[in-house]
Structure 1
Amino acid sequence: MDLAHWCVLSLAVGILAAGTVVFSSIIPISAAAICLIAVAWLVRKNNDRAVWLLAAACFFAGMARALQGQILPVDDISSYIGKTVAVYGVVDGTPEAARLDADSVSVRYRLRVQAVKAGNTPQSASGKLFASVRQSSDRPIYPHGANIVLAGAIKELHGYNNPGSPDMVASWRRQGFTARLSPNGEPRYASQTETDWRSRLNSLREAMIAKMKAAMPESDAAILKGALFGGYSGIPTDAIREFAATGIIHILSVSGSHIALVAGAVHWLGGVAGLRQQPSALLAAFAVLSYALLAGLSPPVIRSVIMGLIALSAAVWGREKDAANALALTAGGMLLFEPSLIEDISFQLSFSGTAGLVLLYAKTAERLAFLPDWLSRPIAATAAAQLGVLPVMAWYFNTIPLMSFAANLLVVPAIELTVVLGLAGSLTSLVVPPVGHLLLVICSLILSTAKHVNSALALLPFAVYLPPLNLLMSAAYYYCILWLYGYLTFLPDLAFLLRRRRQQTLAVMALLTILTAVGAVWPRPLSVHFIDVGQGDATLVMTPRGRAVLIDTGGSSGGDFDIGERVVYPYLRRLHVTSLDYLILTHGHQDHAGGAKAVAAAVPVSQILLPPEELTPAVDNLNSLKGLTVIPAYSGQSIVIDGVRFSLLRPHVSVSSSKRGNSNENSCVVEVRYGSHSFLITGDLEGQSEQALLAQGIAPQTVLKVGHHGAQASTSPAFLTTLDPRYAVISVGAGNRYGHPHPDTLKRLSAGGRPVFRTDKHGAVVFESDGLHLTVKPYINN
């Protein structure tokens, strides 16, 4: 590797290492300074060791920068977490509104905080926060730049902490958001709207979006808006799912390819106008920066601008061979500016995809020289980018669609054309409306055709499962790719090994194939996964032979966010769960069954067990799917899969007619037993049902999933004494409005030193057992 690569790699390792230390940034700063002094001395002596010390200096610089990045200003809004205050701020960006009913809407505001009133006098404050406000339909939705006042409780940001899921809290912090507000009323107008350059650009952007909506169907306008300015708001869920299935979901948001496309179009127009190469390139760069301003200068847009201009600059100035160094130095500069980018999925995809194109495209195209250029070039570009992003795709998405090659050939060029036409048409429509409208109509026709082609490709079931690759495995993968492409010249290439060491090479390859196959079918321990679904329940049981049973599915958190689709299904996909033997719903409440429809639509389910209760909206949604096999759950029902016994218990209680159909007392209880260990999944079980269950007789349990998220009425002393669990798990949402888990319940559970795991504190909690031994692995180990 070149010196630039070593330095950036060392910087990245230093940033990652910062998470394992607790000392001040002064220590790594001092170490970096000492290393740099030593480097200067060794350079004067022409000593080769200067390279290693320079790498060490970069390591300590990365660590220092990461430690500094964790420090917030003393007046940041996060310092008020846990307090009820009035917040004075400016609306940052266009609010997102979703109708709740005929009389109210839910509005999600992003607020740039200016002051906070915790007592009698407002105090200056900084930072940004989110606030989801329920307000009357006849009340105004305050636009970008409006000064408003919101009162409520300041709470911590919280995402869904499951293996492989993006760290949303870190992502929000990179955008400047450090808290959220739970409002106790509607926003109040404070003063006139700001008219700074951001507001003017936002007004221009909104005017362009209005022209799109006037010229094309709403779904097409939403897709074009996302491609030009970012965000999936308004794009139909089916369209998002189909673009993800064909591996081109990135085309629906601002990406490096869009930036390069705009730059290329302007550069070409400059050539047509007779400009020389470099002036034309400067004009293209100006156009790209203007586009970035128009798109909002969000962190993803800035990253896309930087990454997208690298290839163009290298080509214009004839320095393609320096593109890899330029990419490395750019990534290093971005990490120094914002160290947490190293864990950002957008940055990882942008960098690895661009690196794949820079390093692998030319050599891949050479190997496809037997094909015509119009076919070999897009295939080579797709293959190079996919090889670059494969470990990232494996970690977050666990599949790579083979249809992406066809989608990149047929759909991506059409979408890219609509990006150019849409940008030109929406701008032109502000000056010459008839011409701009015509361009947008043409854009809509192309976009509709591309959508239909993509929908057809998404129906083809060609995808390869990718097991999650950790950091070491990812490094090994990249070294193998570099070796196969001839970059590791100190190692013999594959052709040489097959020619000179044919038998040994084939034997090693055969051994690796056999070990992989044996590992895939070798029995594993039973695993019970308590998934973090916020304020809800979802428990996945994986048998030793890989069969799966899901108990509850969590529910919607509001708006278009479906827990089943966005949290539970990705968890199943990560574990390569391609079907469910059983889906068991303890009861029909939204927080337990709201995600069932999305899960059943995404994963084939052999049988669904429902308690005999009045249908709830969540169960009605599930039943709207065709081809489901639904059977009633009854007490004493027993299912055995791979030696794992699932026993259903229904406490016999008398529930008043006013509560029947939606009472927590109707919850089914599921006992999962394997060998000498057992797990009791209690749904929303509370006091009366607990007593009824005790009267029926129940054995002690190893693990108790606490009923009703740890409510005060759950887990009575008698119930806890009888079960005597070694571990307790509470599935609960952070900062929920119900006050779960109740302090009295926690006190009862923790008596005697019993470990209590909470999904709001520990994220997903996974137990594994071979029938004799039991281990527990919380995602966040406190």
Structure 2
Amino acid sequence: MIPERPLVIPLAFLAAGSLAEYLLAIPFSRLIPVVLLVLLVFALPFRKQVLFSCLLALFWMSWEMAALAPRLDIRNVRTGISGYEGKQLLVEGIVVRRPAILPEGERLVLQVERVFAGSAESLSSGSLLLTIAKGHGSWLTGDRIRCPVKVRVPQLLGLPGEFDYGRYLTLRGIEATGWIPDAESVVLMRGAARASWQRSIDSLAMRSQEFIRQCLPDSAQRGVVLALATGNQQEVPPDVAAAYTRAGVTHILSVSGFHVGVVTAVWVIMLRWLMLRWEWLALQLDLRRAALLSTLPVMLLYLVFTGGAPATARSVFMVAAVVLAAWSEREIDLLDALLLAAFVLLLQDPAVLFNLSFQLSFLSLWGLLVLTPLLTKPVEHLLKQEWQRMTVLFFAASLAAVLATMAPVLASFHQVSFTGIAANLVVVPLLGYGATVLATMAVPLSFFMPSFAALVLMFTGWLVQLSNTFVQWIARVPVLHSFSAGSTDVVITIALLAVLGFVHGRRTRMYAGSLLLVALVLVHLWPGPALDGKLRMTFLSVGQGDATLIQLPDGRTMLVDGGGYLRDTGRDFGERYLVPALHGLSVKQIDIMVLSHPHPDHLGGLPAVAEQFKVGEYWQAKGSAQGADYQRLINALAHQKTTTRILQQGDRLQVGEGVLVSVLSSPQGEQSLKTDNDDSLVLQLQQAGFSALMMGDAGFPVEEMLLSQGIGPATVLKVGHHGSKTATGESFLRRIKPNVAVVSVGAGNSFGLPADETLDKIRHQGAVLYRTDQQGTIQLLSDGHTYTVGPLVTENGLVRAIRRFALTASNQLR
């Protein structure tokens, strides 16, 4: 295997090095790969293949660790611009990447040069990701700009399964983020302060994007055409992007190998046709070889023009390898070309391994190459006509790509669609062979023949409209969701593809592949931990919001509120945070969903949960509420025919053996759900001698009412209104005498919560205080008599132990 595919071992250990450094985040000296390289040279005369192979593997692994370590080194934290976290500054710097145009604003990366804090000016460094909420500017790569910004370093909320946005930015070389309300506050200090050839290409790309916007007024058509022609997916409307995802054809919106191949093929055909018209040139040159060679600069230009995404870079490297092989009249194995492309990309940037676009692009093509022949072989003897073979090949290729990427897609998006196997039959011809070619042709034409280019874009828009209509229709087909895949599934998938692609012995391949498939099935069929009869309350750290997952002793689940953004951000809180957290806690379905009141920081995450999980019952107070999120929640529950229960004060509900939920307070006498904090549902959960009081956002008036009704002691208090000074009075605390108090609050929130006076009252009462802003997600276990409580540990214990050992060793060697 190694002699036939010499890149397998280096690529595997490059990936292992990146993964090891990502997980451990330890200081790693660049001297180590240098020492290993010297040892490799000294090992050459001994002709010990095993020794040489081991040293070579260690060299590539150490090379990647040394390259990635400076970005993840914790000693670099709070240096440069990140040291100004939470401060309002005036910053000046150079735009280092092409600005991304958003529907309402713009996003760009700034290499900071100077910082102005009040009257003080100081030099600074580091990259800052700026988001302009409203308006657009004419800035390009290399421009120096100055703008007011509040610096923020992204932090983890402390949820299981949470996407580490801060580390994602760190891998891209970005230290902090900043938010600017309006583009008018950004001042251009000097255009082209740092000249580069990329600036010229970016200028052409921005002009092309503006031309497309002018020609296509429909936002759905315009967004898709911009994605196909220029690689800008930011302007695809969210509902259209969601439909393409549910239909399983979202790959067509990302410039990748398919687009590169189509553009390259069209270029070769057109160029050969033109060259054949010139008789003298046809006699002097080998037109086929000349046309092939001309694709190299075209592909490089296309790569830079469309933004240089990892999937596009992988495709360009692969196609370039194939073109050079064809030009030199040599054969090349496509799997070798794929390995070469991945090797070059990892060598150039070790962080690309953690780019989802690169992962899906690499795995899908790997699956196409090794699974498609296996899927077509059983029926190929039945295929007599060419159209039959092409149809079966098309379906097999689509199925191969879905199977190869299923594990990472489920791990990232928690849903996968098989409708893409059929949808590709319609979408690929319309967008791939039609709209992509026309839109790409319209870009250069827009500079010389704008009227004709506008006509071409009009036809492109029609094709996109047909595709969008079809996709919106087929997206109604149910997708596979509420199914969790993890790192084990991804590892087994990669191992299976490796066996099928690199092991040549038929019997060995069959046995190894069968064992891996059995292992994959057993991972999901293996019974989970046996029920231990304990009640689990998990107070999810959802920032400035509220969400509590209750796992009953009989295994059923109850979700009270779903967190959410206080202001409209254009993002889905549930999809981004709550759904991954539930999957991280191995939740398969929600038996009871409760909405305490329809504030966005309690409601916002529930619609996504209702769309992706089976919900048995839904509880709320009497009436209905306004707003898109509430309506989306109700529609999702109606779609799966969830039973709705209207709660009223005094209701007592048995939710499991020995577990009782009492409604202590609810809105009265209204036809619509009230939005005042004191109209929250107040629930008490009881299990034998244990009780938990969940106050929602209720304040002093509700507490006084509960006191007048004779409320008794509670073991746990879910503190009302995030620890506000308008809740949790002294008399109330003296009556309920909580042993534990939990405050759900966002770190560094603008409301100054929790209030110091509230915390002082809780401590004075003697309750043990837990805060989600400081300790992350809090989990409590109770058997009805005793309980344990503490922060939920989300990091793998083995990884934590290895990191501690490695850090100790590196400190001793330093």
- Which bracket does the TM-score occupy, shorter chain normalised? 0.7 to 0.9
Q: Decide which moves more: 712-721 or 660-669.
A: 712-721
Q: 1:281 to 1:777 in 2, by over 3 A?
A: farther
The 5 Å alignment of 1:552-631 reads: 552-556=561-565, 557-569=567-579, 571=581, 580-600=590-610, 605=615, 607-611=617-621, 615=625, 617=627, 621=631, 625=635, 627=638, 631=645
Structure 1 residues 726, 250: CA separation in 2 closer, same or farther (over 3 Å shift)? farther
The residue type equivalent to 1:519 in the other structure is P
Aligned to 1:382: 398
- Give the CA deviation at 1:250: 2.3
Cα 1:361–1:756 change in 2 (3 A) is same
CA contact (8 A) 1:155 1:735 kept: no
Q: AA paired with 1:541?
A: I
Q: Which amino acid aligns with 2:255?
A: V
- 1:98–1:559 contact (8 Å) kept in structure 2: no
Q: 1:674-712, CA deviations, whole angstroms, 9 ceiling, x for partnerless residues?
A: 577655433223445445445545565565444333334
Residue-by-residue CA offset, 1:12-51 (whole Å, 9 max, x unaligned): 323333356576423xx44434433333333211112221
Equivalent in the alignment of 1:448 = 465
- 1:238 to 1:571, Cα distance in 2 relative to 1, 3 A: farther
Q: What is the Cα deviation at residue 528 of structure 1? A: 4.3
Matches for 1:434-513 after TM superposition, within 5 Å: 434-461=451-478, 463=480, 466-471=483-488, 473-483=489-499, 487=503, 489=505, 492-494=508-510
* Cα 1:736/1:130, change in 2 over 3 Å: farther
Aligned to 1:637: 651
Which residue does 1:405 correspond to in 2? 421
Cα offset for 1:587? 1.6
Distance 1:313 1:267 in 2: 14
Q: Which residue of 1 aligns with 2:66?
A: 64
Structure 1 match to 2:246: 245
Shift of 1:420: 1.5
Q: What's the offset of the Cα at 1:255? A: 2.6
Tell me, yes or no, if structure 1 residue 355 matches structure 2 residue 372: no
Counterpart contact for 1:428–1:436, Cα < 8 Å: yes
Within-5 A mapping of 1:717-732: 729-732=742-745
Distance 1:20 1:94, change over 3 A: closer
2:28 to 22, 25, 30: 25
- Say if 2:755 is the partner of 1:735: no
Residues 1:707 and 1:209: Cα distance change in structure 2 (over 3 Å): same
Question: Once the 2 structures are TM-superposed, how far is the Cα of residue 593 of structure 1 from its aligned partner?
Answer: 1.9
* Distance of 2:202 and 2:702 partners within structure 1: 56
Equivalent of residue 143 in structure 1, options 138, 142, 149:
138
Partner in structure 2 of residue 83 of structure 1: 87
Q: Which runs of 5+ in 1 are unaligned?
A: 100-105, 499-504
Which residue number corresponds to residue 180 of structure 1? 177
Equivalent residue letter for 1:429? S
1:264 counterpart letter in structure 2:
A
Looking at structure 1, the residues matched to 776 and 77 of structure 2 have their Cα atoms a distance apart, in angstroms, of: 28
Q: Which residue of 2 aligns with 1:685?
A: 698
Question: Match of 2:422, as an amino acid?
Answer: A
3-state SS of paired residue (2:128): strand
2:259 paired residue number: 258
Q: Which residue of 1 aligns with 2:806?
A: none
> 1:154-176, CA deviations, whole angstroms, 9 ceiling, x for partnerless residues?
22124666444543323333444
Could you say if the C-alpha distance between residues 460 and 142 of structure 1 is closer, same or farther in structure 2, counting changes exceeding 3 Å? closer
Q: Cα distance, 1:108 vs. partner? A: 5.8
Alignment of 1:286-365 (within 5 A): 286-297=297-308, 301-302=312-313, 305-306=316-317, 309=320, 322-365=333-376
Bigger Cα displacement from structure 2, 394-403 vs 746-755: 746-755
Between the two structures, name the one with larger relative contact order (CA 8 Å, sep ≥ 6). 2
Confirm or deny that 1:11 pairs with 2:14: yes
User: Structure 1 residues 183, 376: closer, same or farther in 2, change over 3 A?
Assistant: closer
* 8 A Cα contact 2:595 2:619, kept in partner: yes
> CA deviation digits over 1:48-84, x for unaligned, max 9?
2221122122233333222222355997311222433
| 1:756 corresponds to 2:770 | yes
Q: Distance in 1 between matches of 2:326 and 2:482?
A: 36
**For residues 355 and 220 of structure 1, what CA distance do their matches in structure 2 show?**
32
1:416 positional shift: 0.9
Measured at CA, do residues 748 and 64 of structure 1 come closer, stay the same or move farther in structure 2, by a change above 3 Å? farther
Q: Which residue identity is paired with 1:10? A: F
Counterpart of 2:280? Answer: none
1:667 to 661, 677, 680: 680
Question: Residue by residue, what CA displacement relative to the aligned partner does 1:572-598 show, whole Å, maximum 9, x if unpaired?
Answer: 567786764433211222211234455
Greater alpha carbon shift after TM alignment, 587-596 vs 42-51: 587-596
Contact residue 558 and residue 592 of structure 2 kept, 8 A: yes
3-state secondary structure, aligned to 1:411: helix
Q: Where do 1:36-115 residues align within 5 Å? A: 36-48=37-49, 49-70=51-72, 76-89=80-93, 93-94=98-99, 111-115=110-114
For residues 732 and 355 of structure 1, do their structure 2 counterparts lie closer, same or farther at Cα, with a shift above 3 Å needed?
farther
* 1:194 correspondence with 2:198: no
Letter in 1 for 2:89: V
Query: How many Å separate the matches in 2 of 1:302 and 1:189?
Result: 32
Cα deviation for residue 392 of structure 1 reads 1.1
CA contact (8 A) 2:100 2:232 kept: no
Post-superposition shift, 1:117? 0.7
**Alignment correspondent of 2:805:** none
Q: Is the 8 A contact 1:652 1:693 kept in 2?
A: no
Say which SS state the counterpart of residue 752 (structure 2) adopts: coil
**CA deviation after TM superposition for structure 1 residue 546, in Å:** 5.8
Say which is worse superposed, 54-63 or 694-703, in terms of deviation.
694-703
Which structure 2 residue ranges, 5 or more long, are not aligned? Answer: 277-285, 801-814
Question: Is contact 1:652-1:692 (8 Å) kept?
Answer: no
TM-score by length of 1: 0.82
Corresponding residue number in structure 2 for 1:709:
722
User: AA paired with 1:114?
Assistant: E
Percent identity reads 25
One of 436, 449, 455 as aligned partner of 1:432? 449
CA distance 1:175–1:397, change in 2 (3 Å) = same
Secondary structure of 1:122's match?
strand
Match of 2:559 among 538, 545, 550: 550
Q: Give the Cα separation in 1 of the matches to 2:754 and 2:738.
A: 18
Amino acid at match of 1:338: D
Match of 1:534 in 2: 543
Assess, with a 3 A threshold, how the Cα gap between structure 1 residues 57 and 518 changes in structure 2: closer, same or farther.
closer
Is 1:212 aligned with 2:212?
yes
The equivalent residue for 2:811 is: none
* Structure 2 contact 230–307 (Cα < 8 Å) conserved: yes
How many residues are matched?
757
Provide the C-alpha distance between the structure 2 equivalents of 1:678 and 1:535, rounded to a whole number of angstroms. 25
RMSD, aligned α-carbons: 4.4
TM-score, scaled relative to structure 2: 0.79
Instruction: Report if the CA contact (8 A) 2:738-2:767 is conserved.
Output: no
Pair 581,698 (structure 1): closer, same or farther in 2 beyond 3 Å: same
Change (3 A) 1:33 1:109: closer
1:312: how far off?
A: 5.7
Any idea what SS the aligned residue of 2:175 has?
strand
Structure 2 counterpart of 1:18, one-letter code: E
Distance 1:692 1:314, change over 3 A: farther
**Aligned equivalents of 1:373 and 1:606: distance in 2?**
46
Contact 1:254 1:304 in 2 (8 A): no
Q: Distance in 1 between matches of 2:698 and 2:9?
A: 57
Task: Specify the code of the residue in structure 1 equivalent to 2:84.
Answer: Y
